Structure 1
Amino acid sequence: MVLGVAFLALSGWYSVVVPVWEAPDEPDHVAYINFVAHYWRLPPTLPTIQPSGNPESAQAPLYYFLAALVTGWAQPEGLAEIRLNPYVTWPDHAARVAVVAHSPVAEGWPPSPGVLVTHFERVLSTLLGLVTVLFSYGLARRVVKSPGLSLLAGGSVAFLPGFVFSSATVNNDAALIALASAAAFLVIGIGGTAFTVRRLVLLALVLTLTVGAKVSGLTVVVATGACLLVAGVAKRRVLAVAAPALMTALGWGFLRAWDPLVLGRQEWQVVIAATWEDAINAPGHFWRSIVGVFGWQNLPLPEVVYVMVAALVLPGVLLSWSRRPERRNASQLALWTALVAGGVLVRWLISSDPRAFLEHGRYLYPALAPVASLMAMGWAAMPRPAGAALAGALVGTLGVTTVIAIPAVIGPAYAYRDELTRFVVPNEGRDGGQIQARPAAGLELLGFDLSPPCPSRGDAVRLALRWHATGSGVPEADTVVLLQPTSGSTLKMSERDPGRNLYPTSVWLPEEVVLDQHEFAIAGNVAPGLYVLRAGIRYEDASTVATGPQTETAPLMSIDWRGNSGAQCAPIGNESH
């Protein structure tokens, strides 16, 4: 009871603190559920914010139909508010962590329908995570008999940062992990005579649902069959248990015409894409992801955490075979873990992007319950004070890390998110320059920051512009920065797409504010004189502009390079173009 409540509290806290859609593929999972809730069939394709497309439309359907059944009453008509953060690829930008462009208006109170339904779907994942925790405790209780060590084994799952994060977000792995834990509980540590027809039928149902949750659940079917054989169950019974799941995996079902798991749209290929360098780096990367990397796998914990957890986990696992009477249980637990890990290894070898695959440590979570039981057996084999102390140290480290990660890692990473959309911008740059310019219909330049505040010839300059979309339907445009002398030719300092080819001006929403950063160098041989620094837009296609020139700019500040005492700058304020 205490363990379950603690897990629900932690996962619920994460569900609230982690911004919606800031988990791997969460927008795509949400889109799948939304489609099923409206049409009750498998989607042919799905919208996505990912340039490579939405791979989730080919996923097995169980989790999505379950989520649609639970949250269908709250599903909105569409999810247009999920948009890619245009700054996610910028290495030095303060907003680079968020993959989605967030809106405090939509995500505040009351939340928009899309935000609200995402939180409801996260609750389902949390409940499935609770199922995993309970089966992990139950399996450990069976193999070690010690209530205290069993509770600590369950705690090693309940407080694992990566598992808590995964259970607090929308993903079909939550169903797979819960069902895999149930299958492990039903088969490991039980003598052959205990496998009654009722238990075998229940096990067959669980395995069928496991494959229906995710095609990779086939590794769970293989692991279950192997453990049944080790337990002495007759081969024909093992085949009978596995047959329904295997038939489902082959597409013999009714949810889709002979293709219930959308296997026809899976990209089947056997190409070894991993290199030797990938193989050398793989264990470390994958271990970090197993312990916990947040966001879209771009928010790691401090390196010392991964080292400490590894040092606390290994002794329990290695000592799990030290008691001869219990080696059969240890063999089953190790066999299950090895087969699940083997399935992950095969998928990694043939993955088109092996390095990205290593970011998904949750692929090994179907073995969480057996690994926790292996550790419990190792703790039980130690002298009582030492085993309990090691178990307590592991669970304590995981629990403290999971709690502290919210204010120390997750919170700061997304604290800036209000800057991405609707937020109050002072009408004054850091250098005192005041701007209220409308260089184009539907666009307004709210302010700017210039560094250095008064640049000299030869300086490297960083200019941040804050654009406000006052309406919709703005033509596609680049933003430009010009240096205009009182006489002579205008110098173009910078021209770029403000959304880095990910977020063009034509899709900016009314009332949205977009931060547009420029970096350029002023040549040291620029002629002395009085200049005006201007910023504005250049339309991609002049024919789309009803009136006005193709390039429209507003003055930011005057720069005087005529004297010998250095540059002299003055804000121009609200001077009209």
Structure 2
Amino acid sequence: MNKLSNTYIVGVSLILLVYLAIGTLYAVNTPAWQAPDEPAHYNYIKHIVEHRSLPILELGDYDQKYITDLIRRGFPHGMSIDLLKYEAHQPPLYYLLATPIFVAFDGSLLALRLFSLILGACVVVLSSMATNLIFSRNLPITLSVSGFVAFVPQHLAMMSSVNNDSMAEVCMVLGLWLIMRRTKPWVIGIVVGFAFLTKVTVYALVVVAIVAAIYRIKEREVRLSSLLQLLVPSLLIGAVWWLRNILVYDWPDLLGLINHSEVVVGQPRTVDWLDKFGVLGLSLRFVQTTFNSFWGQFGWMAVPMKPILLRLLTFLLIVIVIGNYLLLKVRVLNSSVDKLYWLVILSTLSIVILQYLQYNLEFVQHQGRYLFPALLPFALFYVAGLRGWSRYLEKHWPNYSYVWYWIPVVYIPTMAILSVYALYFTIIPAFA
């Protein structure tokens, strides 16, 4: 058992070191502001430093024509980014944590990017811990999930830029891990409260926590009062932000999103694209762009990975679906995994996907990165697919069972190489 633990620690540590190395290359080599909404996130932190208060989203903070011109011209020095303040409605936790970095390094963009990268490292570690909880006797799966989370190119690009996604994912994966560990409800409630203060995309965590709590109450693991212990601290923490928004934007704009919808004039709306492309055309664009941008569509969604890579990734998806089918046939996971773990993973995946679909009902936001709050379930899906194939090979060629057992680990070098390739053969040439 000690040997397994040591191998786990060494394996995750190596993945983490490679993640930090490649992530630093992304942070250094991605041109300034060539990451989604990075100037607006930067200006949020800058506002806190200069005004010692949180920003307020106002009319004029979003200018689609000016943003388009900035992107088209590559953010030239003569065009200021100071007008881009449309992320001012975001919850404040990430920006408050980044403020000392801004002050200590005199507003250095690179320093802030590396701060996000370190938060991303926490996501990798927490994902490995959650997977180790689910598959404590299967080291290849644990390491493979860690590598998948660490090296998906688009995810690595987001973790090495200035935005609140990294902190949001820390809250999400930490919350999932605590729920699966059956941690005390009030501790989970505090983490859910921090999620409320980080980003709306991880509000899904409170639903997962409630679903898990109801399951445990039904199974008589805990009392009904545990639900109250979960909700009271989370709602008290979240209420600080929601009450502030009511005072600033008026009732019932608890999240600032009603005001946001009025400010972001010119942002593409789904109803307009529906008229332009029709149901089928819009659906095809939605699916294709979501898939492409999950893996790698860099800059402001203008720099996709090479078509051959996307075709290979599509083929990989087919292989993984078949692998999961093979695994379900032998019912290995069904019999060995705690039902609570299944509930947490599947509810997380379902809620995040539904949230993504709901967002796209109003705005055209076909961006796979919005699915990253469920990156752990996606990673488990892909790794389970390879495990299905390894079980198939073990059955037919048992003499090599030890080799087949380690097949899922191929994700680690493959994803790492893919992320380096995407940087040097897609991102850097696009902005040269």
Identity %: 23
Alignment of 1:341-490 (within 5 A): 341-351=353-363, 354=364, 357-358=365-366, 360-380=367-387, 382=391, 383=394, 384=401, 385-386=403-404, 388-389=406-407, 391-415=408-432
Alpha-carbon distance in 1 for matches of 2:35, 2:347: 31
Residue 145 of structure 2 corresponds to which residue in structure 1?
153
Q: Which has the higher strand share?
A: 1
Alignment of 1:125-524 (within 5 A): 125-145=116-136, 146-188=138-180, 190=181, 194-195=182-183, 199-231=184-216, 232=219, 233-246=222-235, 248-249=237-238, 258=247, 262=256, 265-267=259-261, 273=271, 275=274, 276=279, 277-313=281-317, 314-315=320-321, 317-318=324-325, 321=328, 322-323=331-332, 324-326=334-336, 328=339, 329-351=341-363, 354=364, 357-358=365-366, 360-380=367-387, 382=391, 383=394, 384=401, 385-386=403-404, 388-389=406-407, 391-415=408-432
**SS of 1:267 mapped into structure 2:** helix
Alignment of 1:50-61 (within 5 A): 50=64, 51=66, 54-61=85-92
CA shift at 1:300, angstroms? 0.8
**SS of 1:41 mapped into structure 2:** coil
Larger radius of gyration: 1
Residue 6 of structure 2 corresponds to which residue in structure 1?
none
- Residues 120-146 of structure 1, C-alpha deviations (whole Å, 9 max, x = no match): 110111011001101111111111222
CA shift at 1:38, angstroms? 1.7
Count residues in correspondence: 361
What one-letter code is carried by the residue in structure 2 that aligns with 1:167?
A: M
Alpha-carbon distance in 1 for matches of 2:42, 2:326: 43
Alpha-carbon distance in 2 for matches of 1:402, 1:181: 22
1:10 to 18, 22, 32: 22
CA shift at 1:294, angstroms? 1.1
CA shift at 1:227, angstroms? 3.0
How has the CA–CA distance of structure 1 residues 332 and 257 changed in structure 2, closer, same or farther, with 3 Å as cutoff? closer
CA shift at 1:375, angstroms? 3.9
Alignment of 1:10-89 (within 5 A): 10-45=22-57, 50=64, 51=66, 54-75=85-106
How has the CA–CA distance of structure 1 residues 245 and 346 changed in structure 2, closer, same or farther, with 3 Å as cutoff? farther
What do you get for the CA RMSD once the two structures are aligned?
2.9
- CA contact under 8 A between 2:140 and 2:405: conserved in structure 1? no
Alpha-carbon distance in 2 for matches of 1:19, 1:318: 42
**SS of 1:57 mapped into structure 2:** coil
TM-score (norm 1): 0.57
CA shift at 1:213, angstroms? 0.7
What one-letter code is carried by the residue in structure 2 that aligns with 1:373?
A: L
How has the CA–CA distance of structure 1 residues 204 and 318 changed in structure 2, closer, same or farther, with 3 Å as cutoff? farther
Residue 562 of structure 1 corresponds to which residue in structure 2?
none
How has the CA–CA distance of structure 1 residues 55 and 410 changed in structure 2, closer, same or farther, with 3 Å as cutoff? same
CA shift at 1:253, angstroms? 6.0
- CA contact under 8 A between 2:193 and 2:233: conserved in structure 1? yes
Residue 101 of structure 1 corresponds to which residue in structure 2?
none
How has the CA–CA distance of structure 1 residues 330 and 311 changed in structure 2, closer, same or farther, with 3 Å as cutoff? farther
**SS of 2:31 mapped into structure 1:** coil
- Residues 2-28 of structure 1, C-alpha deviations (whole Å, 9 max, x = no match): 111111111111000101111011011
Q: Which has the higher helix share?
A: 2
CA shift at 1:258, angstroms? 4.6
What one-letter code is carried by the residue in structure 1 that aligns with 2:419?
A: T
- CA contact under 8 A between 1:215 and 1:249: conserved in structure 2? no
TM-score (norm 2): 0.75
- Residues 198-251 of structure 1, C-alpha deviations (whole Å, 9 max, x = no match): x32221111111111112322222123223333445554235313443455566
The higher relative CO (CA closer than 8 Å, separation ≥ 6) is in: 2
CA shift at 1:279, angstroms? 2.0
Gaps of 5+ in 1: 76-113, 416-577
Residue 479 of structure 1 corresponds to which residue in structure 2?
none
